[in-house]
Chains A and B, each alone.
Chain A
Amino acid sequence: MKILVCISHVPDTTAKINFTPDNKEFISQGVTFIINPYDEIALARAIELTDGGKGTVTAINIGDASTEPTIRKALAIGATDAIRVNAAPRDGYFVAAQVAHIAKQNSYDIILCGRESSDHNSASVPSMIAEMLGVPAISSAKKLDVEGTNATLEREIEGGKEIVTTAFPFVAGASEGMAEPKIPNMRGIMSARTKPLIVAEPIEVKQLSNVVSYDKPASRSSVKLIAPEDAGKLWEMIREEKKVI
């Protein structure tokens, strides 16, 4: 079994998000970067599925050289090898096109992504890769089991879930529940240094969108405190002042 896991390099979940004064760029100085939490789940499941010599796990990232520590971490956690496509990830379409290009050359059985990245939040890359390859995708999967060359997955839907089956090859976006993230051990960290990390150059992709600027949510005016004994007045207050109920 050959599994490709898409690893996105994102700010730590506690990071303060700030932009340059012209609001055009994210300020990455002083920010710790991590493997996108959902991608950690995908990676953990891929390692479980191939455990004991049942296959290989290739980690792929589309990013410039600054993402290498994140890729090395994926290797330390247990990926067999890794590919970095040397380009700033312009948008989801660009990322998906790079992954699809690599996938066409290597015929993976499963391509695992995270359900969504914590920076772009697009939840689009897995479905785009699948469309480019003409294969099914389960964009938000809480469970993934494999038997032979068939898989059963639990897909998240509004207000419920669905059990779906499909044959290799397919793409899935990992969501909570698929696996517990793995922490690298000392041996993993040592071996990660010598595992193969190939740097590939990007293919050309038509530009369809670009970020003009960023904006931060308006901060709330200060909180209006209600004494616990007056709690009963809350609903009328909200109705009068905010008109949402």
Chain B
Amino acid sequence: MGVLVYVENVEGKFKKSTFELISYGFALAQKLGSSVTALSIGEVGDEELQKLSQYGATKILSAKNDRLKTVNVQPFAAVIAEATKAEGSKVVVLSASFSGKAIAARVAVKLEAGLGENVVEIPDTSNGFIVKKGAYSGKAFALVQITSDIKVISVVANSFKVIENKVSGEINAFSPPLNDNDFKLTVKETIRATDKISLPDAELVVSAGRGMKGPEHWGMIEELAGILGAATACSKPVSDAGWRPHSEHVGQTGIAISPNLYVAIGISGAIQHLAGVSSSKVIVVVNKDAEAPFFKAADYGIVGDAFEVVPKLIEAAKKFKSGHN
């Protein structure tokens, strides 16, 4: 029951979420009495690849090819399916990122494998193979039994901790044949806000809503996020009004996130908003209306005017950071 973990790189580097995924794969492999093979596609150096062995990857496959320098879902799925066959792996683990989920779906079809998307825990293998995944937009979980021989799962960021499991990882080049038919999509331009923490896998998120009155007041939200090392997010009306980019919109029709800490400022807590954030581990709500529904879904609440409370939070965060770093 070997576990194959596909590891994404961003410009040749692995993010913390990748080490999370290897740690997850290792925990799963231990339950299955097997080991982890990591598969990297793209230009990643040996030193970076070797880091994967610190978290439990005993074998590291590296597929490098001029045609595979940037993420391309179709050929990447083909490479992963080939590696699964070559390794005889029974479980394929990917991250539940935009591209991770798209690749997972294609790998599942190629291998006629059952797919578990947005998995939030280690599968229950006591009786078959049952995954727990998000459903009904954050309002429920579904326990799904995967009955096929090979299983493909995509794991939500922040649902598993990075755990050191040092093993001796051996790096092998992997170069399956590529199919021209898989290259019909051309990427013209990639625009990445590199100075920012990406929202879907952020551990800390500071989010604000219509209570901020206008885009000119986001300076304090960004300042607070900057001090905490958090990503910024917003409610739907805020991005609809163009105060913030759509990529920051969280909720049922936006991005679903599960950070360790979600700070909601001037957001009422409508059911569609909660759908995307309620699986955050700790929720702080700042709202001037004590009756705002968000307080019912919060761990900590401050009933007060954001324009008075946020500056205090900023000052305290500065002290907190200088005290604990």
Q: What is the bound-complex CA distance between A210 and B143, given in angstroms?
A: 9
Interface contact B144-A210, CB-CB below 8 Å = yes
**Interface flags, A151-165, vs B, CB<8A=1, else 0:** 010011111111111
Q: What is the bound-complex CA distance between A236 and B323, given in angstroms?
A: 10
Q: A157-B190, A176-B254 are in contact. Are A17 and B101 (CB under 8 A)?
A: no
Nearest A residue to B117, CB-CB = A122
**Interface flags, A139-157, vs B, CB<8A=1, else 0:** 1101000000000100111
Interface residue SS majority, chain B: mixed
Q: What is the bound-complex CA distance between A234 and B184, given in angstroms?
A: 52
Interface contact A93-B299, CB-CB below 8 Å = no
Interface contact A138-B185, CB-CB below 8 Å = yes
Is the CB of B244 closer than 8 A to any CB of chain A? no
Interface pairs (14), CB distance under 8 Å: A13-B253, A91-B114, A120-B142, A130-B106, A139-B105, A157-B98, A165-B188, A211-B145, A225-B301, A228-B308, A234-B300, A235-B313, A235-B320, A245-B261
Q: Which chain B residues border A125 with CB–CB below 8 Å?
A: 105
- Across the interface, B285 reaches (CB within 8 A) one of A211, A215, A223, namely A223
Output the least CB separation between A124 and chain B (Å): 4
Is the CB of B86 closer than 8 A to any CB of chain A? no
User: B116, B252, B302, B303: which has the most chain A beta carbons within 10 Å?
Assistant: B302
User: A140, A234, A244: which has the most chain B beta carbons within 10 Å?
Assistant: A234
Is the CB of A166 closer than 8 A to any CB of chain B? yes
Q: Which chain B residues border A242 with CB–CB below 8 Å?
A: 261, 281-282, 299
Is the CB of A186 closer than 8 A to any CB of chain B? no
Q: Which chain B residues border A127 with CB–CB below 8 Å?
A: 73, 101-103, 105-106
Q: What is the bound-complex CA distance between A208 and B107, given in angstroms?
A: 14
Is the CB of A49 closer than 8 A to any CB of chain B? no
Interface contact A13-B115, CB-CB below 8 Å = no
Interface contact A216-B140, CB-CB below 8 Å = yes
Interface contact B190-A231, CB-CB below 8 Å = no
Q: Which chain B residues border A156 with CB–CB below 8 Å?
A: 98, 247
User: B136, B145, B187, B188: which has the most chain A beta carbons within 10 Å?
Assistant: B136
Interface contact A212-B145, CB-CB below 8 Å = yes
Q: For residues 17 through 69 of chain B, which have their beta carbon under 8 Å from a beta carbon of chain A?
A: none
Output the least CB separation between B259 and chain A (Å): 9
Q: Which chain B residues border A136 with CB–CB below 8 Å?
A: 73-74, 184-185
